[in-house]
Every structure is written in C-alpha cells, then in structure tokens.
Structure 1
Amino acid sequence: MIKIDYNNLNTLEKKLLDSTKECIQHNSKISITELSTQFDVSTSKISKFVRKLGFESFKQYKKFIISEHNNAPPERPSSELQRISDYVANFDDHLAYEFWMKIKDCNKLIIYGLGPSFICADYFAYRLRIFSDVFSLATNEVTTLRNSDSKDTKLLVLSTTGLFKSFDEELSGLNYKEVIFLFEEFRYFPKLQQHTLFYLTNSGGNSALKPYEKSRTLFFIFLEEVIQKFKPPS
C-alpha cells in the first residue's frame, strides 16, 4: 500500500518530478545513475526525492510512472480469495493511520464514488456517522460534488482503477480544502499531482475485467480498519 503526497514537494523537487517523469516515459529502462548524470544531481538526492514522494525505491517510482501507459495484467494470476489473503497478510496499518489523520479533524467530508465504488462510499459515510464527529455525505452525483465545495470541506474520491471516468472535468474549479483519492490499483495520473493519493496495492489489476466488474473487497477492509481508529481503546 502506498501514499503519494505531491504537496510534500518543494519547487525544485516538483521540477525534478516533471523532468524525471518525462525521461522515464521516453526510456523505461533508464537507471537512477543515468538520470543523475543527465540532470547533474546526485543519486542520493533523487533517492531522497523519491522517498519523500512516498515510494520505497527508485525502482518502485519508475514502475509507477510507466504504469500510465501500461495496462499489462498483474505479475501472477490469483483467485479473489488469494488476492484478499495476500492483502490482509501485508496490510499496512501505518497507511491506514495516515489516511485516518487526513479525515479525523475535518468538519465535513464528501465521499464520491461511481458504480460499485459508490456503495463503498455510502458504507464509509454510514460508519463515520456512527463512530466519529465528522459530517459525511456519500454521493455519485456531479451536481452534489460541485454544490458542496467549500474551504471547510474535504473531498474523498474512491476509485478502483481510476480509468472508468476522467476526474478532470468534475474537479476543475472546485474549492475544497483538500481532495484525497483512494485507489486500489497502482497507476500514475499526471493530472492529479496537486492532490493526495492513496493506493491499496502496488500492482495493476486484472486487465480482462472492466472497472465496474472488479471487486471492491479491499476498499471495505481498508476503510473498516480506518473506522477502528475512531473507536476509543478498549
């Protein structure tokens, strides 16, 4: 599981992001040493920038950039039960904590999802109303999304692949305090660089399935663990 926060980057690091991204997209086999030479920066500086962005290594960062143009199936096929088992076995509670920190003190939270992701949004809003003081509203309507934006409200977008519908038009001109994305599949979206992105996995999903055909089980597991953090210690 991965959290990518573009807001952590300073001006120079944002320029480094744009430059390295362009190079990797043109040459997917480029090494960190080659980038270091090309941009006249040390490999340690690139490594530090990559970790600050939220990646464990340059290799993972490169895989993320390449994923924008790569719809290959996952590295190994697995049943849904095995997929869930692997996710639970490698669950990153620190990521759930960071997600919880993003929403625990906000006055209002609009949760936006389309298709089956709206069901997850509605469930999470329901659980938040029970266990937190956060005013939460789930919606799949663009009109509601646009009429709810304000400086004291955060927007949470749930999407398994991020490919079912482009968010560019829906989000343009909005005035939310913060926009947070929760994706299941690991994929790069260059137009979302000003927002905070959370990924539940570090790989692509089954490319044979359309976005609306995919399971949302991992969403329910992750969001329920976030809810547990609102509960007082027993």
Structure 2
Amino acid sequence: MNTIDLRTLNPLERHIHEVLLAQKDTSGTLRITQAAEVCNCSVSKISKFVRKLGFLNYKQYRAFLNGKDVIGYTATNEIQRIRAFLDAFDSRLVDDLYALIVNHKKLVLFGYGPSLLCAEYFSYRFRNCTDITTMAVSDPVAAKNMVDEVTLLVILTETGRFHSFQDIYASAKKKQCDVIIVSEEFNTELATQCDKIFYLAPQPQPNHLQAYEKSRTTFFIFLEEVIQRFLSKKP
C-alpha cells in the first residue's frame, strides 16, 4: 500500500515530478545522477523528493513511473494476492483517509462499472455511521454539479485506464473541491488527475483480465477499515 500526495510538494519538487513523468518512457535507464542533471538539482534533492512522495528510494519511484510492480511481487491467484495485500496493509493510510473525510461536510464517491457498485455500497455505509452528506455517482456531469469547496470527491478505480478523470478533476478544482483517487493498480497517469492517490495492492491482478473483470476486494477491505474508524468514534 502506498499514498502519493502531490499537495505536499513545493514548486521545485513538483517540477522534478513533472520532468521525470514526462520522460517516463526513457526513465527505465535514467540513473539518479542523470535525473538530477535533467532536473537541474542535486542527487540528494531527488532522494528527498522520492521519499517525500512515499517511496523507499529512487529505484522504486522509477518503477512506478514505468508502470511496473513497485514492490516486486509476482501475481499468482486471488487468495495469495489478498494475503499479500493484508501482509502489506498500512493502517496509516486508513487514518489519512479518515482525517480527510472528517474535514469535509460532503462526500461524493465516484466510479464506473463495478467500482460504482463499491461506491454505492459505501455511500450507504457512510450515511449510516456519519453525519456527512454522502452520495455515489457515475455521471461526470452530475459529479461536477455536486461538488463545492466543502466536498471531498473520492474516485474509485481499479486501474485508471478505462476512463480519464482529468476533466472531472479540472472542474472540481475550479470549485475548490479536494479530489483523491483510490486505485488498486499503479498507474502514473493518475498523478495528474487528483490531489492525492491511495494505491492499495502490492500485487497486480492477471493482465488478461479486463478492468471490469477484476475484483474489488481490496476496496472493500480498505474502506471498511475507514468505516470502522467512524464507528469507533460514535458515542
């Protein structure tokens, strides 16, 4: 599990990320010294930047840029994949999402296909354990009309490759809405489509499966833990 929060980056760090993201096709062989040269900064600055984003080192960040398995597991079957997810489970991410939600008066959960079904289920769960106005939608126009400066827009997506969320993100930011993405698989394109990303699974699901064929088990485990945080705070 990992989280990437671009809002924590200063202008130089955001510049570094944008430069390296633009060169992701060649970054498979781009050493940290070369990255420093391209970004016109020191090697130590690159190292501090990738750690601030939540990666252990530059090598792990480079793997992320290239859409590779960051931790290095090899997918086997669903039971083993979920076991790997539970072994790597980081409760700090649950605390992070809980803190984000409680700081907003409205929660909009957005998703397509099976991800929408997850959004609808958890919309029901949040409405029954919080006083936060919560709704689930799959229509981009409806989402744009619902959000405002007191809204947290949570986009659920398995891979982030079926649809782009760039337009939704741009519209939401015009209304000063905070936007986060909860994704199972690593996808560098999502870094420009939200303020913060929660990546859940250390193991990818089989490549031959279409996005709509892949399970959403990790969503249910992760978000249910967030629900439990709310339930534990009830009098």
1:125-204 maps to which residues of 2 (within 5 A)?
125-174=123-172, 175-189=175-189, 192=192, 195-204=195-204
User: Are 1:129 and 1:136, in contact at CA under 8 Å, matched by a contact in 2?
Assistant: yes
Q: Structure 2: state its 5+ residue gaps.
A: none
User: Are 1:117 and 1:159, in contact at CA under 8 Å, matched by a contact in 2?
Assistant: yes
Distance 1:35 1:225, change over 3 A: same
Counterpart for residue 101 of structure 2? 103
Counterpart for residue 94 of structure 1? 92
**By how many angstroms is 1:54 displaced?**
2.1
Code of the residue aligned with 2:227 in structure 1: it is I
Counterpart for residue 11 of structure 2? 11
Separation of aligned partners in 1, 2:180 and 2:75: 30
Code of the residue aligned with 1:79 in structure 2: it is N
User: Are 2:2 and 2:199, in contact at CA under 8 Å, matched by a contact in 1?
Assistant: yes
**By how many angstroms is 1:101 displaced?**
1.0
Number of corresponding residues:
230
Distance 1:59 1:187, change over 3 A: same
Q: Percent identity?
A: 37
User: Are 1:160 and 1:185, in contact at CA under 8 Å, matched by a contact in 2?
Assistant: yes
User: Are 2:84 and 2:203, in contact at CA under 8 Å, matched by a contact in 1?
Assistant: no
Separation of aligned partners in 1, 2:193 and 2:13: 13
Distance 1:2 1:11, change over 3 A: same
**By how many angstroms is 1:178 displaced?**
0.2
SS at match of 1:232: helix
| Residue range with higher mean Cα deviation, 24-33 or 89-98 | 24-33
**By how many angstroms is 1:79 displaced?**
1.0
With the length of structure 2 as denominator, give the TM-score of the two structures.
Answer: 0.89
SS at match of 2:171: coil
Code of the residue aligned with 2:152 in structure 1: it is K
Distance 1:39 1:110, change over 3 A: closer
Separation of aligned partners in 2, 1:168 and 1:193: 5
User: Are 1:7 and 1:194, in contact at CA under 8 Å, matched by a contact in 2?
Assistant: no
SS at match of 1:26: coil
Separation of aligned partners in 1, 2:233 and 2:132: 19
Instruction: Give per-residue Cα distances to partners, 1:137-157, cap 9 Å, x unaligned.
Output: 011122321220211112110
Q: CA RMSD in A?
A: 2.2
With the length of structure 1 as denominator, give the TM-score of the two structures.
Answer: 0.89
Code of the residue aligned with 2:231 in structure 1: it is K
Distance 1:138 1:23, change over 3 A: closer
